[in-house]
Chains A and B, each alone.
Chain A
């Protein structure tokens, strides 16, 4: 489906779960920060929201451009400035295996 920028303040992009590779279409508000959008995308596609210390799970948002490029997005940037119609975005977590009791 052709992506489009909505006159009401959304950009339509694809969002992908980095493990299942399930890719859905989403309208992202242009005014959200990338940090806000990342948290909402992660929640919407069923990624863990908190870590083992009950802090918000850290994700970084990566974008794959239609021209084949790929970038890590600055959390303080705005969706409208950083994501173009048809881009594919993918939240990737900071993963912390370990054993505090050892």
Chain B
């Protein structure tokens, strides 16, 4: 039902260049986004009950292909239509991998989802009995009570980053010549104020990644042990909400270029593991001391990664 390929075409000739399987987490991201959208719109109940996938289909015809996803809970269901552009970051990751392995040449490609043509020949030896998807309930919460003076009319999740946590990220980045990282422990909530996107998250703690985590000027290797240590600190109300890492190579870029971007590697991390609607990525430029200048934030908006604004709060 969820098996899709990504079709790559040469942008100039339109010829098909490559057909690659889209990983399973792509469909899961769209399902999670559809569920969250249904809850935020007040159509789906916000009660933590298991969800159903009532539909997941590829619509082709005139123009680019689209994906229709329908999620149900109890007697109600909610559907959402995604353009092919929602797969932009997945396509970038796949193209980066094909370029790394020299499976394709450098060039300009277009992408579109397509029905899977090949079935996997890899037979699993474990017998898994999948549990129902259960995204959980969002407790209500006020942005104002969390230190936001004037909630803005943004279409993306409201991200509250207390200045103390922001300063900790900047200090960690500035203390090192190499890339460093931290896990963001967050609370998620249904925003009580009338803002366009009612998904809120507040960073409760910045956990510097240790346990063998090591960086170079252009890479960070986060060990499984470091993630295990983060997982041990999670509770129902305090979740791993994303990653922060530094990009200390700003001085080596062209004058004026901003190093606070998501590289293909960063997008592979975000699309592969940190794809839930409340997950964020923070990039820190250690050349700056003020969090306003040093930190850029990326969040999922309609299941696509978008650079977004933050609320830096005092106290």
Contacts and interface: CB of A to CB of B under 8 A. Distances in A.
Contacts of A58: 224
A54 B225 contact: no
B265 A72 contact: no
A25 B128 CA distance: 6
A93 B71 CA distance: 29
Contact of B247 (A44, A49, A99, A100): A99
B210 interface: no
Given A41-B126, A102-B217, A96 B265 contact: yes
Nearest to A102: B249
Contacts of B228: 62, 70, 72, 92
B268 A94 contact: no
A45 B224 CA distance: 17
B273 interface: yes
Interface in B226-256: 227-228, 231-232, 240, 243, 245, 247, 249, 252-253
Secondary structure type dominating chain B contacts:
mixed
Contacts of A36: 125
Contacts of B25: 46-48
Contacts of A46: 23-25, 28
Nearest to B219: A98
Interface residues of A, number: 48
B265 A100 contact: yes
Given A15-B128, A93-B273, A52 B97 contact: yes
Interface stretch (B36-44, B111-119, B130-138): B130-138
A75 B74 CA distance: 42
Contact of A32 (B125, B131, B220, B265): B125
Given A47-B272, A52-B96, 13 more contacts: A18-B273, A20-B28, A24-B128, A32-B126, A43-B122, A51-B268, A52-B100, A53-B100, A94-B224, A95-B221, A101-B263, A102-B217, A102-B259
14 contacts: A24-B130, A26-B129, A29-B126, A43-B124, A46-B24, A48-B272, A60-B225, A92-B227, A93-B273, A94-B223, A97-B245, A98-B265, A99-B247, A102-B259
